[in-house]
Structure 1
Amino acid sequence: MQLKEQPPYSWQKSLWSNLCSQYEAGQLAHAYLISGARGTGKNLFANAFAKFVMCLSPNEGVACGECKNCQLGGESGHPDIVRILVEEGSRDIKIEQIRSLSDFLAQTSQGGRAKITLITDAHYMNTAAANALLKTLEEPTDSTFIFLLSHLPGSLPATIRSRCQKLIMPTPSNIVAVHWLEQHIEDQEDPQSLAIAAGNCPLLALELARSGGLENQQQFLQKLTQLTSGETSIQATV
């Protein structure tokens, strides 16, 4: 998803500032669990922070995008940042993916900074994968950082959660969500309706706008209203 603006977004800035302060003080935890509603930008936030850590010349608290480390890897991504997620055609994150993480963390950093792993939708790890990750969390290595991202943190094993510093991505207010959407949607779209439909989760609202999901939702609600009021039959609705 291409966006006109990169993180941190306005509702993320307090969390970003706290995390950057930890990094600059040399106090980053080995593992973080970032939770929060879908569509609040957890993945984009973590990815931007990973780039910030790798950057040799941060500019106003974000990656400069121009230094050697920012350019390293090109479009394929920085070699010291690994992203783990449910692979296409699969229902979960598998043990082989976590085992490859152990190999990655054992290697020397190519950029000379750190090694960072982002695990998207970490709650989809199967039992074997979670057990393998637990071993990695129990035996941290220097300058390696793991970010687990999840909108269902309670689905993760307690043993995993207990070994992560917990960060909660806030959901912005309606005013903030609408303002952000106004900068990212087409003029014919209604930012207020999108924000309400997405529970004020801006990235989810943007997805609705681009996929036509809001229109489908409105059509469904209209048909449901007609059905309950007796204006139409079930056969006409389905």
Structure 2
Amino acid sequence: MNNIAGEMPWLSKAWKVVQNGLKEDRLPHALIIAGEHGVGKRAWADAVSELLLCDQPANNAEGLPTACGHCKQCALFQAASHPDVRAYSPEKSKVIKVDQVRALSAFTVASPQVGQRKVAIVDRADQLNINAANALLKTLEEPQPDVSLLLLQESGRPVLPTIRSRCQVLTIPAPGIEQAQDWLSTRIEQMDEADRPSEQTLNKALMLAGNAPRLALEYATGDFIGLRDEAFEQFRQFMKGQVPVTQAARAFKALGLEGALTLFEGWAVDLARLSAGGQAMDSEAAEMLGFLARTNPGWRAHELQDKVNEAREAAVYNANPELEAAQLLIEWKKLMPRRRRNA
């Protein structure tokens, strides 16, 4: 049986919504699952798909249905060969295109091939281009009784209000530090000892990922942390006027555009937190951001977030990562107090 809530307990509330809906035959035809990158939205959607497709769901100790794990539907799903579940995600253009949504629409109106129900996952609904969003809206307005739509949305990335209004929204929170550490430790223990990152690296990965465990695992086992540290050092030196913008931008280019934008966005959010009397998530950048928070009005943080969103929109058109980073660095530099000239 799928034990997604046991493996990732922060998913349990959203998981029980589906279990209760299935038990009481009142499951909505379309769900938006919102949450930060790396909290397990796709794993949750996969578990829901298996449950909805299962021919012989069993009841757990609370009397709620769970996938049996051994019927024909479960076997097909576990082999990643079930014909009645489809997933649609951004392609090289970083958006979900209208042709993909048309394929989804054709899938939803066709009869199930081997089961009683079909499931379509849109990963991610916040990356639909305008034509694709309008095409999906038509599918949502004419729901099929044997189809469940699961739309995944990253926090802070908007979905059209017309789409949102036709779905039930479930929010998956980031786990607390102890839950995140427990999950991460379990995964690290499964690795070869020689490949295991240090405890210091794990803690830093969790900090940078905002306690999103799956993203932290990616950070801890990849090269993101080293690239981030170099970008932050160049950022710090640029803000002090010690290096030119071109040099600092090259360090952000190494992260790729999305990685660079994630850093800038995180710092802008932290600046807003500090301006409001809160604490920064990025503890290593807290001193610099605290200085900027004390010397600038709070609305400047939101202005920087808007600039990041503009750069993210430009990414659809294959924007130059180095150029976008340079433009954002210049916007940040405007927050530094101007030095007074000697009389």
TM-score normalised per structure 2: 0.61
* 2:184 counterpart of 1:175: no
Distance 2:197 2:159 in 1: 41
Alignment of 1:18-29 (within 5 A): 18-29=17-28
* 2:120 counterpart of 1:109: no
Which residue does 1:7 correspond to in 2? 4
Counterpart selection for 2:82 from 70, 78, 85: 78
Distance 1:72 1:124 in 2: 29
Residues 39, 213 of structure 2: 8 Å contact kept: yes
Which deviates the most, 126-135 or 216-225? Answer: 216-225
Which residue does 2:40 correspond to in 1? 41
Which residue does 1:92 correspond to in 2? 95
Q: Which has the larger radius of gyration?
A: 2
Q: What whole-Å deviation, never above 9, does each CA across 1:44-100 have from its counterpart, x for those lacking one?
A: 10111101111123354543332111122664431111101112x223111111111
Q: Secondary structure of the equivalent of 1:72? A: helix
Q: Cα distance 1:103–1:223, how it changes in 2: closer, same or farther (>3 A)?
A: closer
Per-residue deviation at 1:224? 5.9
Q: Cα distance 1:219–1:28, how it changes in 2: closer, same or farther (>3 A)?
A: same
Which residue does 2:268 correspond to in 1? none
**Count of aligned pairs between the two proteins:** 231
- Identity across aligned pairs (percent)? 33
* 2:156 counterpart of 1:118: no
Distance 2:141 2:156 in 1: 19
Which deviates the most, 102-111 or 216-225? Answer: 216-225
Which deviates the most, 65-74 or 165-174? Answer: 65-74
Which residue does 1:66 correspond to in 2? 70
Distance 1:194 1:91 in 2: 25
Q: What whole-Å deviation, never above 9, does each CA across 1:161-184 have from its counterpart, x for those lacking one?
A: 000001001111111111111111
Structure 2 counterpart of 1:127, one-letter code: I
Distance 2:55 2:156 in 1: 33
Structure 2 counterpart of 1:189, one-letter code: S
Structure 1 counterpart of 2:180, one-letter code: A
Counterpart selection for 2:220 from 187, 204, 209: 209
Cα RMSD for the two superposed structures: 2.7
Which deviates the most, 146-155 or 91-100? Answer: 146-155
Distance 2:97 2:43 in 1: 23
User: Gaps spanning 5+ residues in structure 2: where?
Assistant: 252-343
Per-residue deviation at 1:208? 0.5
Structure 1 counterpart of 2:4, one-letter code: P
Structure 2 counterpart of 1:21, one-letter code: N
Distance 2:89 2:176 in 1: 29
Per-residue deviation at 1:121? 1.2
Which deviates the most, 176-185 or 209-218? Answer: 209-218
Q: Secondary structure of the equivalent of 2:136? A: helix
Which of the pair is proportionally richer in helix? 2
Residues 19, 66 of structure 2: 8 Å contact kept: no
Which residue does 1:194 correspond to in 2? 205
Higher relative contact order (CA 8 A, sep 6+): 1
TM-score normalised per structure 1: 0.86
Distance 2:46 2:94 in 1: 23
Q: Cα distance 1:153–1:122, how it changes in 2: closer, same or farther (>3 A)?
A: farther
Which of structure 1's runs of 4+ aligned residues deviate more than 6 A? 235-238
